[in-house]
Chain A
């Protein structure tokens, strides 16, 4: 194979990139300050949270700008190396472990999303949680969460990533259980933490396996440890790893992603997590934290690419799980009355799309979907919160307390509609450019079945969102939205129950909504494939180039010296990379070579038709069912046995909760634990008690035969000391001690003698 060696231009960097590690540090410090002095601040610490998020946002924007400059400073096919900084964190057993930053296109993208939405959600919360019992704690946890997520996004090694990952889990626990006086909330918090923790076993095991299998290679070739993300990426693509080991490690890591990103079969915690305040649902449980699993797959993509044989024939684990998740959770969204639960299942389903995309080799569309989904889903949740805050009297029940709200809440309604269109993937809203790309690329990479699943998902999404929109904003106002007072409150920010009826929310709520809706509308154009290559900015900035990189052992980020451009082999005319699961002859690869589906309008039209069909059918059914109370539709699920069975299955959430809670958790917590404890008390202690009883029988004999003065004297002294000190321990008890003691010591002496004699 011919190749030309060329010396590459050095990449530009800058202060924001070099010091990106400050971004998670700022919320960390703010968290400590809120805890320590928050309650004494004029705004009870919330200002510290908001300011720290604004600072993180500014730094993220700076880093994003400089990253784009860095990309622009590279030549067209050059691998843009991430800006890595590392310090020693700890050392043990001759190994050193680092702490540091790894900033590249993916980090910058997620960084911006997290910082921006965190800022908006904190501003929104100023109003939404005004007067809450634990206002300060709420902002503390929210800020810590952002710190954790930013840490994970910037982590240069798996241990630091794990740190951020677990901090998010903790904050999720605290925030879901924010109103922990109620049993439901604290149980949901427990469930969320435990379910995710089950997946985390995979993360621990995966990190450990990768560390031990990769460490020698990464030390030798790159001078970094086997925890390093960059090292692992290069190692995975080097052809070095044993295919079984890397497969098991990838599966283990993916189990963690299933837990965190609410994929089937561990998705059950996410809808329950809606027990938390709405800003929390918006930030953690839709737009940011739950994409951590997707992020991990995208981050360590080479490991999954090789380990699970992505782009191989047939499906792989990631695609299968993603595909199942899309459909089953979308179906569940139809039987929910709680608007937040509809959105929660929608989130699960959308995360399924991201996984499907990653599993099918559509890295860029999947990552782009993280970006667009964050905006429209955060917006939808905040809109739901706005409704409950100002119109439905803290209720989230669409059937009972909503309806007809489009007139009284014009801003909320408009932002909701924009976001819904984005979610359903209508052109030119942002979801179209990401979701349709995923479906398109899945098909293009030869996974026809999964493309159809994606299209079914799109149909279902359009239908359940239309149902929710209809129930909320159209038809006649019901319950609280009609001005009726309700006693049973779902979501109680201690906002005083105002007597006046439904109204639009204040600026602190509507401004974040408007900003997010604008992004839901416009962000898709950052990677608008239909308009040609020049519009594909995200691809240019974010997607790592699959170029063979030759660099020295030195870890400095500017050590890229030479790139080997392999001679044009493909008919397309530009340099084709050999980066894949084979070994590059020299140098290393950091990203596998992926395909991009060419955009074709006819294909897009088909999926748009499917979306419109879903909307239309759903609209008609909703209108007939909820407004007209058409007898043909009402009670249909009761009359037709097939529908009844299906409805029952959905209402019971496929009985997965029953399986986990009633069978597994209950089984471990009660029968199994009790059996273990019974064993402990009856068997182990029983043996001890039996030994003690027989010892007492034998002790009489021992007394007559062992030199009593020494042993007895000593122990009796302790017995009298007992009486002196406490006057509590009865003589018989201490007598027993002396007997046992005598027995044991004499036995010891005999045993020692025997042992020595036998072995001489």
Chain B
């Protein structure tokens, strides 16, 4: 695979710039609230600027190739190198992580969750950003693993410190679950390294040599990776950390978790598991597809059973990521394109939904669906924005969600050669039924929360006719880009497909076309 190496400083700068911000933050006295926020804001704006610059100088004509590639020795003892690069699959996710971080920082300017401590909070946010961006550009398995794990700690603290009432349980559950997955993933990486002659951890090298590993070994190695990535996605039955983590995490944590962290798992499948172990991927694909459609239906049923708005949105992620995994499991470029589109769309939409849940909690002091109602009369703007996101989430054509969902269902009709067509067509029909359930739980939620007349919120102690503030400037600033993104990608899906497609095609070369 030939790679483009010009301007290869942009990726390192884009990834590690937030760390510079962290260093500056560390030197600040705790009390300087405004300065701390300013530094965080400036850092994330600068990071995004670098990201945008990267996107501008990205050669779209060669989106299938790794660009801005940098490679230097790193841990030579284990033959791991600092090897980074960006192609059409990474670019949207890399950029998305920067956008989301900036928007979360903007939102946090006005909403540092209890117990405060902005210095620590913003530092963790920036560390998270480095971890997420790094994961999407790493071309070396050890480097990938380090970034992948780097994400874990800040999120653990974010849930454990700034979370809700059961934050300790949720944070530990999140941490252990992911650790468990990571451990197996590491096993798989090590085994892969050994089985390819202990030469290199570089992904392009492994793609070249991974195919020659014996089939049964591939299947075992794939199993390790599968668990590691599936926990992160999360796929049924490894998803039970997610509702707890989401429900307990502060709004910012939930947004980042939904928008970016979940994508690390699916990205891992596309970038690492499938191209390196194509034979195993083919064996595993029907099972992955099966778990994906179980996730679609099961997640939807989970949603219907919820009484808490945030927990419902969390469960909807299980269903939505099911569509993504279904697309991936077809092993076709069409399906994987859909999956990556779905990842971005889910990031925008569910990120938005968690923002809204945060704002609802702030205004109503509860997320119990039965205690909410008449949002459209009290806070009409918030209500309409919520309605828009609900529609996007249920996959209304013309909004971003549809282009992840429909092509994924479409791709299941015709999976890659060698996969059982009948099985996948059954998956297709089940997934299509899942869209009805999605409409069901989302609209039911919307009907209960936004329609009707406001419930008496006397338990808040703020009086019966408390005047609630509608969407404020910070919220509007943080949300508008997401809302525009949902609409623009919905109308012009090709903006994204044209970038992803060549890279996916290049990735799938190992499957023989």
Residues of A within 8 A of B (CB): 88-95, 159, 162-163, 166-167, 170, 173, 177, 180-183, 186-187, 189-190, 193-194, 197-198, 200-201, 204-205, 208-209, 211-212, 665, 668-669, 672-674, 676-677, 680, 684-685, 688, 692, 718, 721-722, 725-726, 728-730, 733, 736-737, 740-741, 744-745, 747-748, 751-752, 755-756, 759
Contacts and interface: CB of A to CB of B under 8 A. Distances in A.
B321 to A, nearest CB: 15
Contact of A752 (B115, B191, B413): B191
Contact of A729 (B161, B333, B447): B161
Given A729-B161, A755-B187, A759-B195, A92 B304 contact: no
B301 A181 contact: no
B485 interface: no
A756 B194 contact: yes
B414 interface: yes
Given A91-B494, A180-B376, 7 more contacts: A92-B497, A194-B436, A673-B303, A676-B298, A745-B179, A751-B183, A756-B190
Contacts of A93: 332-335, 337, 411, 501, 504-505
B173 interface: yes
A92 B432 CA distance: 20
Contact of B397 (A162, A194, A201, A208): A162
Interface stretch (B48-56, B277-285, B437-445): B437-445
A186 B452 contact: yes
Contact of A166 (B157, B298, B397, B443): B397
Contacts of B428: 205, 208
Nearest to B490: A163
Contacts of A205: 428-429, 432
A211 B411 CA distance: 11
Contacts of A90: 403, 492-494, 497-498
B166 interface: no
B432 A726 contact: no
Point out which of A170, A680, A741, A747 has the most chain B C-beta atoms below 10 A from its C-beta: A680
A198 B440 CA distance: 10
Contacts of A674: 305
Contact of B176 (A163, A722, A737): A737
B86 interface: no
B433 interface: yes
B422 interface: no
Contact of A737 (B172, B190, B374, B505): B172
Nearest to A174: B387
Interface in B159-204: 160-161, 167-168, 171-173, 175-177, 179-180, 183-184, 186-187, 190-191, 194-195
Contacts of A741: 179
Given A173-B443, A722-B157, A744-B180, A733 B172 contact: yes
Interface in B406-438: 406-407, 409-411, 413-414, 428-429, 432-433, 435-437
Nearest to B438: A197
B117 interface: yes
Contacts of A756: 190-191, 194-195
6 contacts: A180-B450, A201-B433, A205-B432, A726-B115, A729-B171, A751-B187
Nearest to A196: B439
A208 B424 CA distance: 13
B10 interface: no
Interface string B328-356: 00001111011000000000000000000
A39 to B, nearest CB: 11
B338 A201 contact: no
Contacts of B453: 181
A740 B240 contact: no
Interface string B131-160: 000000000000000000000010001001
Given A673-B304, A685-B240, A692 B176 contact: yes
B95 interface: no
A415 B443 CA distance: 39
Contacts, number: 207
Contacts of A718: 153
B75 interface: no
Point out which of B173, B334, B433, B439 has the most chain A C-beta atoms below 10 A from its C-beta: B439
A676 B447 contact: no
A728 B115 contact: yes
A676 B175 CA distance: 25
Interface in B267-325: 298, 301-306
Given A212-B413, A728-B161, A756-B194, A91 B497 contact: yes
A190 B447 contact: yes
Contacts of B160: 722, 726, 728-729
Contacts of B443: 173, 190, 193-194
A751 B443 CA distance: 47
B180 A725 contact: no
B377 interface: yes
Contact of B172 (A177, A736, A759): A736
B228 to A, nearest CB: 10
Given A676-B298, A733-B168, A737-B172, A201 B432 contact: yes
Contacts of B117: 725-726
A595 to B, nearest CB: 36
Contacts of B436: 194, 197-198, 200-201
B237 interface: yes
Closest 5 CB pairs of A and B: A93-B334, A726-B161, A748-B183, A673-B304, A677-B305
Contacts of A201: 429, 432-433, 435-436
B217 interface: yes
B292 to A, nearest CB: 16
A725 B120 contact: yes
Given A92-B337, A722-B160, A748-B184, A755 B406 contact: no
Contact of A755 (B161, B220, B501): B220
B144 to A, nearest CB: 16
B352 to A, nearest CB: 18
B396 interface: yes
Nearest to B223: A755
Given A676-B301, A748-B184, A755 B191 contact: yes
A343 to B, nearest CB: 26
A92 B120 contact: no
Contacts of A190: 443-444, 447
Contacts of A170: 391, 396
Contacts of A183: 452
B439 A167 contact: no
Contact of A197 (B332, B407, B439, B447): B439
B398 interface: yes
Contacts of B168: 728-730, 733
Point out which of A88, A193, A744 has the most chain B C-beta atoms below 10 A from its C-beta: A744
B451 interface: yes
Given A190-B447, A194-B439, A740 B176 contact: yes
Nearest to A32: B487
A669 B307 CA distance: 12
A119 to B, nearest CB: 24
B501 A92 contact: yes
Contact of A89 (B186, B217, B429, B493): B493
Given A677-B305, A729-B168, A748-B183, A181 B190 contact: no
Contacts of A197: 435-436, 439-440
A747 B181 CA distance: 12
Interface string B210-243: 0000101100110010000000000001001001
A733 B176 CA distance: 12
Nearest to B184: A748
B231 to A, nearest CB: 11
Nearest to B180: A744
Nearest to B330: A93
Contacts of B115: 726, 728
A186 B444 CA distance: 10
Nearest to A193: B443
A510 B259 CA distance: 54
